[in-house]
Structure formats: structure tokens, C-alpha cells
Amino acid sequence: MAASVLRVKGITKSFGGVQALRGVSLDIALGEIHCLAGENGSGKSTLIKIISGVHEPDAGEIEIDGRRFSHLNPKEAIGLGIQVIYQDFSVFPNLTVMENLALNSELMDKRKLVNYKRARAIAANAVSQIGFDVDLDERVENLTVADRQLIAICRALLQEAKLIIMDEPTSALTKKEVKALFAVIKRLQARGLSILFVSHKLDEVFEISERYTILRSGENVASGSTVELDRKTFVFHMTGRQFEDEFYTPSAIRREPILSVRGLSLGGAYADISFDLAAGEILGITGLLGSGRTELVETLFGIFQPEAGTISIRGKEVRIKSVKDAIRKGIGYVPSDRLTEGLFQPQTVERNLSITVLDRLSDHFGFLRRGAIAAMTRRWIGDLSIATKSPALPVRTLSGGNQQKVVLARWLANDLSILMLNGPTMGVDIGSKYDIHVLMRKLAGKGLAIIIVSDDLPEVLACASRILVMRDGVFVQELDPTVTTESKLSELSTGIA
């Protein structure tokens, strides 16, 4: 085995009596792609912050390139070649690509005036290192999430990184963007850099990493070579639970559709879309980003107005003029980005749960009935097993899976007939993902009509009773998930055999 670029041994850390890490050890070889896996709350983030000097461990040892430390500060960590790319990438959205890349160099050189010719040269050199084609004068806020991530990687390379830690780097990326990111990671590895890839996505772990370390409840539970690991063992190590693969078989789909769409079209997004949805059914819609899948469900939710076609609910043609109109008609929508579109992050769990039913929780004078709100909140926290110490806490304090359950509870409180979920388990850990899948099947079994939009092919196969594949704004084929493979779905989505 190659020499270690990083070795941590017996790391312990507690916060206010809560034990976050218990004797954790980790070893990363020079030029290795190593996966650090674990569910939310397993201690991954705490360990990263200790390695990067943000937190000081209570006990344990850090060794970098053979040098031993009891703790580091951020400046020391950067000087030793450690760079962390967090989920928010820590870029300045109001600055240009060039300014984001050159800023650190200008500050470290203690320059009082910015030389734009020098700054452009620094930025051009940075993007060229990974073959990143981007307009250096473009504001970062106008770029995609994937491009912002590449900017963060370029910036790390300017700091002469030896080890780049990527914290959940694919949580907001499409399959195509993930593939491009992995190509960049492989190029970095070829240059001798080590990568600590922090994730809970099984397919990605197996695809990109050579070795793994799994944490659970702040402790090491397993480590070794990825090629010697199978999916079921990996999931068990992460969660301590055994999950069985299964398909959703509806117990009773009603003959008459609850939703009928005929010839629906929206210029530049989709054309001539027709399908039926019955109570008790989970319809899966899959396709690449840009296939029209999101615009379609957002039309059904009243965000867009179709240019042609009809929508009927329970056999009666309707026009959905707005989001409020969709809600009145019994339609709910869980967006793909719960952080910016689905939740009020600073507000409490209770307020997030009750926001869509405040009219029902008010008296005839318009005053909120606090007792009714509290009772409804307790009910849904219990029914969906939302893990929170108090409904009075900000929803941002919850894990990704529990935040998603809050969004679901908000819509279920409306007594919906139709629930649409765009990326239903995006950014949640394995255990929460399984729980949400079970919940969707349970709701469909009680008669709720569900549409899931996802490019997570195993998820679509596991949850849907019927699958529609969308490409270039049209449905290309309808499939039975029990006799369909991931490769077939991928082939139809891309048009590439």
C-alpha cells in the first residue's frame, strides 16, 4: 500500500455532553480515492472539521505526511495541503469566476490593489488544470451547481492541495453532472492527489472509490476495499438495519382515473403529453434534466400554464390557474430543492408543517387556534416518525430525511387526492430513503394517487407501479418496473443504446 497522506487515530469529540466521535480512526493513502460513509449524525462532518482544523479533538492524533499533531487550526491544515469543499462550496455568488479564483492569492500575497491581468492569469491557470471551460467574467450566481463545484475544486488546486475532501459532492447534481465530476476526480487522482469522498450514495461509492470507511453513531464500524463489499453489507454497516429489495404492487387501483392529461403542451419544454393516473397508483416519470419532466409536473401544480391540451380531475375538465388553485383541487407538490423551494429554513418545524392549512386552523375571526396547530403538529411528527427534539426548533436543525418528511407532512395534512414528488429522496441518507419509500407505498395503498419524478433509476424501479420515460419533451415508452432494468431505462432516457 502507498504511503499515507493522512492518518487519524483514536479521535474523540463531544459537544455539550453529546458524544459526536468515539475513538475514530481513518487512513488515506497517497493518490487514493477513499469514501467516508455514514448516515446523517454518524459523525462524518465532525471528523472533517477536525481534520481541517475547525474543531479541536478531545483526544486522538492527526498525522499528515508523517508529521504528528494533537490538533490543527484551519491555516495550518491549508498549509499542509488539506482542502475541504463543503456542500455550499463557499463561493461568492456576487463575484465573477475570476474574482472567486484569484481572491485567495491576492489576499495571501497581501496585495492592496488588484491587478486584473494577474488575476485573469491565475484564474485561467486554475480552470485549465481540470479542463474546465467557463467564462471567467461570468458571475458565479448565474452558473449551475455543477459549475460552482468545479470552481471550488479549481480554487483548492491553487492552494497546492494534497488531499481534497468533498462533502456530499453529488447531492444536487444530475446523473450527467455526476459523470463529469467523476471524470475530474479521476484526473486529479492521476496527478497524485488524494480524495476523501464523503457520501451515502451506494452506486457512487462503488463507482468512484477504492477503499471505504463507514461511521455509525460516531464510531468506526467497517473499513476495507470497496471491491470486496456488496450493497447489502454496505447498507447494514451504515444503518444497522436489513432492507429487502422489493417492487410496489398496488393492492387495488380504481378503474376510473383520478387524473387524465390529454395533448398537454408547453413551448420549449414538452409537447403532446397524455397519460392517466388512478388512485392507489405510483406513476414514475424518469428522464434526463431538460427532458421536460419538471415543467410537466409544475404545470399540473399551476406554476406554468399549458399552451395546449386538457387536464381532467375525476372525469371533469379543469383549468389549474395557480398554485393555490392546484391545492384547492387536491394536488400537492414536493419540489426537488426542499432547501430553497420546499421549506422556510429559519422557521420552526411547527410553522413549516402548518403553513398550508392555516385557514383550517383559524377561528371565524381569523385568529390561529394554537391548540389545534400543536395537535396537528404532534400528529404528523408521530405518523411520519419525524426525528426532532422539539417542534419549536428551526427546521434547518433536522437531517435531510426528516426535512423531507416535514414537506411531505405539510401536504398530507391537506387531505390530498394527488401528490407529486420531484426527486423524493434527493440528498437524504439510506435509512431515511427506505423509510420514505415505505411511506409512499403506504399512502398509495390507502388510495392516494402519486407521481414521482426522478433520475434515480433504482428508486423509480422500487417505487413505481408504472414508469413513463421522457426524452426531449415527449414520452418515449411506458414500462412495467417488474420486468425492466436500469440499463433499459438509461438507454431510453438518453437515446443511446
376-410: pLDDT as tens digits: 899 889 888 888 889 999 988 888 788 888 888 88
Q: Is the pLDDT of residue 108 over 80?
A: no
**Would the pLDDT of 297 be above 80?**
yes
Task: Kindly report which listed range (80-89, 222-231, 267-276) carries the lowest average pLDDT score.
Answer: 80-89
C-alpha cell at 468: 413513463
Query: Lowest-pLDDT range, 305-314, 414-423, 488-497?
Result: 488-497
Question: What per-residue confidence (pLDDT) applies to 484?
Answer: 92
Dihedral (Cα; 472, 476, 482, 486), 10-degree rounding: -40
**How does residue 52 score in pLDDT terms, banded at 50, 70 and 90?**
very high
Longest dimension (CA), the chain: 73
Q: What is 259-494's CATH topology? A: Rossmann fold (3.40.50)
Average pLDDT over residues 64-89: 89
Range(s) within the chain of domains with CATH label 3.40.50.300: 4-239, 259-494
Residue 136, pLDDT > 80, answer: yes
Number of H helices and E strands in the chain, helices first, is 16, 20
* Nearest-angstrom CA–CA distance, 307 and 309: 7
Beta strands (DSSP E) in 102-242 are: 163-167, 194-199, 211-216, 219-225
Q: In whole numbers, what is the pLDDT of the chain averaged over residues? A: 88
Structure confidence by residue, pLDDT tens digits, 356-383: 787 777 878 878 888 888 998 998 898 8
Q: At what angle do helices 97-108 and 145-158 cross, to 10 degrees?
A: 20
Q: Using CA atoms, how far apart are residues 154 and 151, in angstroms rounded to an integer?
A: 5
AA identity, residue 112: K
Average pLDDT over residues 234-252: 80
Q: How far, in Å, CA of 62 to CA of 174, rounded?
A: 35
Alpha helices by DSSP H, listed for 159-246, are: 175-190, 202-208, 231-239
CA distance 61 to 77: 14
> What is the CATH code of the structural domain delimited by 4-239?
3.40.50.300
Q: Beta strand pairing status for 194-199 and 259-266? A: unpaired
Q: How far apart are CA 185 and CA 188, in angstroms?
A: 5
pLDDT at residue 112, as a whole number: 60
Using a pLDDT cut of 90, give the percent of the chain over it. 48
DSSP class of residue 406 equals H
Return all residues near 191 (Cβ < 8 A) that are at least 6 apart. none
Q: For residues 371 and 198, what is the distance between their CA atoms, to the nearest angstrom?
A: 43
Identify the band that residue 411 occupies on the pLDDT scale cut at 50, 70 and 90. confident
| DSSP strand pairing (33-37 vs 18-29) | unpaired
Q: The C-alpha cell of 5 is what?
A: 497522506
Contact 449, 259 (CB under 8 A): yes
pLDDT average, residue stretch 330-342: 81
The model scores a pTM over 0.85: no
Q: What's the pLDDT tens digit per position in 162-206?
A: 999 998 888 767 777 888 889 889 999 999 999 999 987 788 888
Q: How far apart are the first and last CA of the chain?
A: 39
Please determine, for residue 1, whether its predicted confidence score (pLDDT) is greater than 60: no
